[in-house]
Amino acid sequence: MNFIDLFSGAGGLSEGFIKAGFDAVAHVEIDKYACDTMETRAAYHKLKEQGKLDIYKSYLKKEIDRETLFKNAGESIKNTVINEGISEETIDNIFSRIDSLLKEKNITEIPLVIGGPPCQAYSVVGRSRDPNGMKDDPRNFLYRMYIRFLTRYKPKTFVFENVMGIKSAQDGKIYENLKKEMQAAGYIIDNKVFDASKHGVLQRRKRVIIVGWRSDLPYQYPDLEEIDNNHMVSELLNDLPKLQAGETDTTGKYRNKPSDYLTNSGIRKSDDILTHHVARPHIDRDKGIYLKAIDRWYDKGERLKYTDLEKHEMTHKNTKSFLDRFKVVAGNLTYSQTVVAHISKDGHYYIHPDREQCRSLTVREAARLQSFPDDYYFEGPRTSAFKQIGNAVPPILAEQIANKMKKLLLTE
């Protein structure tokens, strides 16, 4: 049950497949910090397999450095993470490196390819901000690089994840061309839209999941059952130490016992060490606005609009659009708003629901909204960690998809 992960980001999609029992032959990703994150996660999985998670925990506690971590986990696991952009200039080298990994592990078949090209060229927001609607963006055609891997390794099936806008980009031409070119490569494809909030993730996040299979196989698109959810977003946050803007948790310990949701979802385990719980600093004006947004939500059940602010609180001239610039992550709902990469630049859209804390979310809180387990460590500066999280596939959703793909492959 081997797979290759393309455009893999920080590994959210891959994490779900690994938990379902698949083995990653290679991850290919252009972002250096995301690759560092995947290497660290590979070390976690290797040490867990060897019963040596105490070494990984020492790394989280900063008792050992990265070099010592990989001396124990094995330097060779870094080879599975290929830090390259996928292009005509790099693809032959990437093929060569993957072929070497296959030979080294004596693997003769890759039954599955997963991943999704960067979504900026397809996203509705991205197109609205670009004067030419992203029509000239080369990322529109990265799906062709994905097809090159299908052509070379001929997997039985593949999973291609992307934003909703991929179906409407360039009036639907991008998706139609993608479909035709995948069919020409020998694959039948189908797609469905999944909302992560209906699959155990406490976040409303809609994504298109394209599944393809070789035309010589009697497969069909697997069904994915929805999960009833009665859990509240507050269950993701209430066990964490309270922080003021600009503060850092240095204890590595939790404030309360985990909620049933945290335990049952596997996000928090009994022996976890808390990391990435660092609050961004905020100026007094923004903290005043945060309090207004929190109070309006909990007192009236209404979202604060930009036009509700006093003139001295406004910093933008645009009062006609993007009026929800300040938005509380409502603790009394069963899902949050979508966590996107822009959280790395702007915390106003992700305000913590506790007025006593009056700040935007920490990296760990954002990771929990995405359903990353607390033992998942994101390498790089805070802005990169936020970006990695915002671009990821929620691991809980990924695992459900992976289990269906596993069943598909095993019942051939």
pLDDT at 368 over 90: yes
Is residue 411 very low, low, confident or very high in pLDDT (cuts 50, 70, 90)?
Answer: confident
Name the nearest CA neighbour of 359 among 244, 200, 240, 217. Answer: 244
pLDDT tens figures, 315-339? 888 888 888 899 999 999 999 999 9
Percent of the chain residues past pLDDT 70, beyond the cut: 94
pLDDT at 127: 34
Q: CA-CA distance, 262 to 240, in Å (whole number)? A: 12
Give me the chain's average pLDDT, please. 92
What's the average model confidence in pLDDT over 171-189? 92
* β-strand partners of 206: 195
Q: Are 221 and 192 in contact (CB under 8 A)?
A: yes
Q: What is the pTM of this model?
A: 0.93
pLDDT tens figures, 42-72? 999 999 999 999 999 999 999 999 999 999 9
pLDDT tens figures, 146-179? 999 999 999 999 999 998 888 887 788 888 999 9
- Give the strand pairing for 112-115 and 2-6: parallel
Active site residues: 119
CATH annotation of 2-226+394-410: 3.40.50.150
Is residue 138 very low, low, confident or very high in pLDDT (cuts 50, 70, 90)?
Answer: very low
pLDDT at 137 over 60: no
Is residue 270 very low, low, confident or very high in pLDDT (cuts 50, 70, 90)?
Answer: very high
Is residue 123 very low, low, confident or very high in pLDDT (cuts 50, 70, 90)?
Answer: very low
Residues whose CB falls within 8 Å of the CB of residue 399, separated by 6 or more in sequence, listed in order: 15, 16, 17, 19, 20
pLDDT at 294 over 60: yes
